[in-house]
Structure 1
Amino acid sequence: MRTVGVEEELLVVDGDGRPVPLGPDALTVAARRGEGEDAAEHDRADREDEEPDAASAAHLMPELKAQQIELGTAVCPTLDQVDAELRFWRGRAQAAAASVGAHVAALATSPVAVEPVPTQGERYGRMLDAFALTAREMLTCGCHVHVSVADEDEGIAVLDRIRIWLPVLTALTANSPFWQGADSGYASFRSQAWNRWPSAGPNEVFADAASYHRLVDDVLATETVLDTGMVYFDARLSDTWPTVEVRSADVALRVEDAVTLAGVVRGLVETAARDTDPPPEVPARILRLAAWRAGRSGMTGDLVHPRTGRPAPAADVLGDLLEHVRPALADAGDDQRVSEGIAAILRRGTGADLQRRIHAATGGDLTAVVRSAVEITTAQATASRTG
């Protein structure tokens, strides 16, 4: 069975719902207090030689802006473990934030107007110098899903076949309708802001690993991006692990929606790896349009259907995605869980839908939107992976 790992970026906010630049301080205090002891105990079989807080250092990390904390799960063979890992590390992130009087919120952008504060560090400083306003304004929280592949050749075959479905994942996880204190009109404005990075977005079909690496080398040769870490393709081969990394999703407000995403992505990867037909030759320009439309309306309007290139109701497109991956889901034992997760999103809406409902119900109080997100984020966190 293919393993899965999930990375989430969370906002750090104060009691009034305003982002505060306390992420690095929270991580520092957490490390001093030995916040990683339980995690190290849990991982002792794999981490016997590490210091007590090494596990937390590996799984809780700073991000580009000081109003963020990033978390990463362990490598997971099952969606049950993904669920437990996300709840545990959200709990650890909340404990870290609480140590400096703050909270975490699983929001892909800040509803409240904010001046992003850069995290200190040589690389982050270079990014700010190189990318100017784009880097200064960037405060977005995504969700990245890693799925194991046998080797680079299989990874490229997967990238070539899943690319047409990635905009649907943006719609499925849309959780960023507000930007700088106003309704953006988008369900996922994070995806719009993110695509200001010059290396972000979809690619053409690669055909083989050599073509992929030539593109990466050519991107780096322009000296426009700093390093391979800034090769922000919607999906890419990991530089560190034998995985495909899918990067097109907003951070999900609810853990169960992140687990659904992880199941869908694993299903897409497995389905693509089994496929022996040539990958669909959909131009990257069309995929960019599909991604824009997914970010605009989320699950409430039409999406560009990956197979036809024509508009279709989001629910129909999602249903076709589910049918596309169903055999792989069934083989992994994920069919019921993912099907129920998708049905729940269609029934109650995405994080973007919930944010707008709270905004309307509170007479336009954006701080209430953030406080509600904090409640959901922390209520779903646990002190252990088995809780």
Structure 2
Amino acid sequence: MRTVGVEEELLLVDPETGEPRAMSAAVLARAERDGAEPDVFEKELHEQMLEFATHPQSSMESLHAEIVRCRKEAAGHAEEIGCTVAALATSPLPVSPAIGMNRRYRWMEEQYGIATREQLVLGCHVHVSVESDEEGVGVVDRLRPWLPVLAALSANSPYWQGKDSGYSSYRSRVWQRWPSAGPTEIFGSAECYHRRVADMVATGTILDEGMIYFDARLSQRYPTVEIRVSDVCLHAETAALIATFARALVDTAAGEWRDGREPLDPGVSLLRLAAWQAARSGLTGELLDPRTMRRMPAEAVVRTLLEHAAGALEANGDLERAREGCARLLRDGNGAQVQRALMDRSGSLRDVVTECVRHTQA
């Protein structure tokens, strides 16, 4: 059974006002003094962000438990110095992002200007183990049409600089400002994949392979495919659901690759439209069906995802978990829907943030 690990980026906020706080360095120092396990918590581009990484897990129940534990630990370290964490993919309240004092981050600011200064967006990255680069590229080639559905399930960023963006996942639209971000063409082989990455780095437009921001890529650090389309999810159980589907999609794609089945190839232009539609409507309207690239109700597209991955989900013992998770999201709403419902009730984005702090650790 493939192992799965999750990286989540959390927003550091004032527990009373909900305003973002540029305190990641202080939180990390506190975590080290508190004896936190090495390499679990890390800095990110902006000082208002804190990242954690789980261990690889075979059991989705164990992965969910570790996400919950890491969120609580992050909150504990933050609260000791006067802030807390919120699993929000953008800040609902206005913010002036503070870029970390790091040579890499300063290079990015000089190279990309305002796109770097405005990149206070928080995602959830899922690593799924693969046996080789060849299998990994076979998987990457076959995941492409299904990734917008994961983005729709995870959507958790409706607000931007104090206003409703009109999107369910505005984070994904901001993320697309990076020159290497988004869907990719079919590579066909590991050799072609690595050659394309080398050619991109050789342009000087990006600093190194770490700035290959494909929607799904081969990890530099681990023998995994890394899926990077999801917002950080408001609830830990939604993050676990995204990871559950990620593993099942990798299993399904790897089986198709081994059987010599050609990947669906709607083309990058249509994949971009599918990603835009997922960001715009989340689970509240229509999505593009991965098989036909035509609009269908979000609920029907989620059912299509379940059907596509059902064999792998069942083999992994995850089918009932996936069905229940999808039913819950379609009934209760994803993070974007919860945020908007909170705003409708309170009329205050400050209240939205402070209530989402509670959801983060639930």
TM-score w.r.t. the length of structure 2 is 0.98
1:243-264 deviation digits (Å, cap 9, x = unpaired) = 0000000000001101110000
Match of 1:366 among 343, 346, 349: 349
1:186-240 deviation digits (Å, cap 9, x = unpaired) = 0000000000000000001111011111110111011011111110000000011
Q: CA deviation at 1:129?
A: 1.1
Letter in 2 for 1:27: L
CA distance in 1, matches of 2:317, 2:77: 35
1:60-115 deviation digits (Å, cap 9, x = unpaired) = 11110000100100010110111111011111111121121000000000000000
CA distance in 2, matches of 1:81, 1:239: 25
Residue 187 of structure 1 contacts residue 298 of structure 1 at CA under 8 Å; is this kept in 2? yes
Q: What is the number of residues matched between the two proteins?
A: 358
- Please tell me whether residue 350 in structure 1 is matched to residue 334 in structure 2: yes
CA distance in 1, matches of 2:199, 2:289: 31
- The aligned residue for residue 286 of structure 1 is 270
- The aligned residue for residue 18 of structure 2 is 17
- The aligned residue for residue 298 of structure 2 is 314
**Secondary structure at 1:58 match in 2:** coil
Spell out the pairing of 1:95-244 with structure 2 (5 A cutoff): 95-244=76-225
CA distance in 2, matches of 1:30, 1:201: 34
Letter in 2 for 1:175: N
CA distance in 1, matches of 2:195, 2:147: 23
**Secondary structure at 1:186 match in 2:** coil
| Aligned-CA RMSD value | 0.8
Residue 29 of structure 1 contacts residue 96 of structure 1 at CA under 8 Å; is this kept in 2? yes
CA distance in 2, matches of 1:263, 1:72: 16
Letter in 2 for 1:70: E
Letter in 1 for 2:325: G
Spell out the pairing of 1:224-303 with structure 2 (5 A cutoff): 224-275=205-256, 276=259, 277-303=261-287
CA distance in 2, matches of 1:2, 1:317: 25
Q: CA deviation at 1:310?
A: 0.7
Letter in 1 for 2:330: L
CA distance in 2, matches of 1:96, 1:27: 8
- The aligned residue for residue 52 of structure 1 is none
Letter in 2 for 1:320: T
**Secondary structure at 1:317 match in 2:** helix
Structure 1 residue ranges, 4+ long, deviating more than 6 angstroms after superposition: none
- The aligned residue for residue 383 of structure 1 is none
Residue 67 of structure 1 contacts residue 117 of structure 1 at CA under 8 Å; is this kept in 2? yes
Residue 30 of structure 1 contacts residue 99 of structure 1 at CA under 8 Å; is this kept in 2? no
CA distance in 2, matches of 1:80, 1:302: 31
Letter in 1 for 2:31: A
Q: CA deviation at 1:33?
A: 2.9
Structure 2, unpaired ranges of 5+: none
**Secondary structure at 2:222 match in 1:** coil
TM-score w.r.t. the length of structure 1 is 0.91
CA distance in 2, matches of 1:5, 1:168: 20
1:252-298 deviation digits (Å, cap 9, x = unpaired) = 00011011100001000001111121111210111011101100010
CA distance in 1, matches of 2:102, 2:33: 20
CA distance in 2, matches of 1:165, 1:267: 11
